[in-house]
């Protein structure tokens, strides 16, 4: 299978940017009743919805669309894979959305190690659920087993192998770190949303939270992570923005701030802060903005001198990824 990457660049002079939108197809939807508002934005989205979609397919969704006339290739193929359930139950006071302060690829302004997973910040003992059915390939403390950048990094950790393949046909694993308690054993088969442990602060955690990772190919290789935002199912009528900010030489611009806003959302995001971040080989993203109610969003990026370097309005469709390619022309 050949994946051809879209190269749509934009600067002030070129805007508005064409925004390819990658459509999910063949998903069988089984809405599920839940309660909370799916966001911790500074400006809370007004959302009365309270559900997530359950997609039964494990693999994928293909959308082929035409390339712009100036491209030599005739078609582009990108694939959505929002197939994993949220590892925190969608109910009560649970925080089942990814923490925005230390997202995937963040270094928190070079104050922390680059983050190759995401956090679900919840009180100790909050149940942790398997994101999909699979087989437990690790369960226990990592003090003597290298799973992260060094031994003892995750504390009590569970790793599950799923029958889901990456876009290049490699197996997908999910990892659940810093658990207070592990409630499964190695070799055990688990169902999707089965309780596998409890939120804790073991390993290097500073406070109770679930550290969640998506890995490909090797469950013990910390360098093979992917951004969970590209894998986690959408809330009802929500979608995702993903994109790449790069310079004129095509190099990704690291740690650059973007603002994504609508009437109800005001989200500050940063491009990945380190070359060590693993990007999706097909999407080639260096930022994502997840859990956005469908609608129009203005994206604004300033250059190092504080001038507007990029401004555009994109439409986010429910259950879809809107990909934007931004040339930062400094």
Site residues (vs Zn ion, CB under 5 A): 117, 119, 211
Q: What is the C-alpha to C-alpha distance for residues 38 and 239, in angstroms, rounded to an integer?
A: 12
Residue number, 19 or 94, with CB nearest to Zn ion: 94
Residue number, 211 or 320, with CB nearest to Zn ion: 211
Chain centroid to Cα 163, Å, comes to: 19
In the complex, least distance from residue 119 CB atom to Zn ion, rounded to whole angstroms? 5
In the complex, least distance from residue 211 CB atom to Zn ion, rounded to whole angstroms? 3
Residue number, 105 or 117, with CB nearest to Zn ion: 117
In the complex, least distance from residue 99 CB atom to Zn ion, rounded to whole angstroms? 9
**Token pair in block for residue 115:** 């983050």
Q: What is the C-alpha to C-alpha distance for residues 102 and 106, in angstroms, rounded to an integer?
A: 6
* DSSP letter for each residue of 77-136: EEEE---BPPSS-SSTT---S--SSS-TT--TTTTSPPPSSEEE---TT-EEE-SSSEEE
In the complex, least distance from residue 89 CB atom to Zn ion, rounded to whole angstroms? 19
In the complex, least distance from residue 219 CB atom to Zn ion, rounded to whole angstroms? 17
Residue number, 119 or 142, with CB nearest to Zn ion: 119
Q: What is the C-alpha to C-alpha distance for residues 169 and 322, in angstroms, rounded to an integer?
A: 24
Helix then strand count (H, E) for the chain reads 0, 21
Q: Which residues contact 139 (CB under 8 A, 6 or more apart)?
A: 157, 158, 159, 182, 184, 185, 186, 188, 196
In the complex, least distance from residue 204 CB atom to Zn ion, rounded to whole angstroms? 9
**Token pair in block for residue 311:** 């401004």
In the complex, least distance from residue 103 CB atom to Zn ion, rounded to whole angstroms? 10
Q: Which residues contact 132 (CB under 8 A, 6 or more apart)?
A: 58, 83, 84, 85, 160, 162, 164, 174, 192
Residue number, 98 or 196, with CB nearest to Zn ion: 98
- Find, among 63, 52, 49, the residue nearest to 29 by Cα: 52
Vertex 188: Cα angle to 142 and 168 (nearest 5): 80
In the complex, least distance from residue 64 CB atom to Zn ion, rounded to whole angstroms? 36
Vertex 170: Cα angle to 228 and 26 (nearest 5): 70
Vertex 280: Cα angle to 16 and 57 (nearest 5): 100
Contact indicator for 320, 22 with CB cutoff of 8 Å: yes
Q: Which residue is nearest to Zn ion (CB)?
A: 211
In the complex, least distance from residue 173 CB atom to Zn ion, rounded to whole angstroms? 16
Residue number, 3 or 220, with CB nearest to Zn ion: 220
């Amino acid at each position: 299978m050949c994946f051809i990457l879209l190269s749509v660049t934009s600067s002030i002079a070129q805007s508005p940017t064409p925004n390819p939108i990658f459509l999910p197809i063949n998903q069988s939807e089984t809405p599920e009743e839940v309660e909370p508002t799916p966001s911790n934005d500074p400006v809370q989205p007004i959302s009365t919805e309270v559900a997530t979609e359950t997609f039964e397919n494990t693999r994928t969704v293909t959308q082929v669309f035409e390339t712009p006339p100036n491209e030599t290739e005739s078609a582009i193929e990108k694939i959505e894979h929002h197939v994993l359930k949220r590892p925190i139950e969608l109910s009560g006071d649970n925080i089942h959305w990814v923490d925005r302060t230390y997202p995937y690829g963040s270094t928190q302004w070079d104050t922390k190690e680059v983050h190759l997973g995401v956090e679900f910040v919840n009180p100790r003992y909050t149940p942790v659920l398997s994101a999909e059915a699979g087989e437990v390939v690790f369960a226990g403390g990592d003090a003597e087993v290298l799973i992260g950048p060094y031994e003892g990094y995750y504390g009590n950790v569970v790793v599950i192998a799923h029958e889901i393949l990456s876009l290049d046909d490699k197996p997908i694993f999910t990892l659940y770190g810093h658990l207070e308690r592990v409630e499964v054993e190695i070799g055990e088969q688990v169902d999707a949303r089965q309780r596998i442990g409890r939120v804790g602060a073991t390993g290097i955690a500073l406070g109770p939270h679930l550290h969640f990772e998506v890995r490909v190919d090797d469950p013990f290789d910390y360098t093979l992570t992917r951004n969970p935002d590209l894998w986690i199912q959408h809330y009802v009528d929500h979608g995702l923005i993903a994109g790449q900010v790069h310079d004129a030489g095509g190099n990704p611009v690291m740690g650059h701030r973007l603002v994504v806003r609508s009437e109800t959302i005001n989200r500050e995001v940063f491009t990945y802060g380190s070359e060590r971040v693993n990007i999706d080989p097909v999407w080639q993203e260096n930022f994502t903005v997840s859990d956005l109610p469908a609608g129009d969003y203005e994206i604004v990026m300033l250059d190092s001198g504080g001038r507007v370097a990029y401004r555009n309005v994109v439409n986010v469709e429910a259950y879809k990824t809107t990909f934007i390619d931004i040339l930062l022309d400094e």
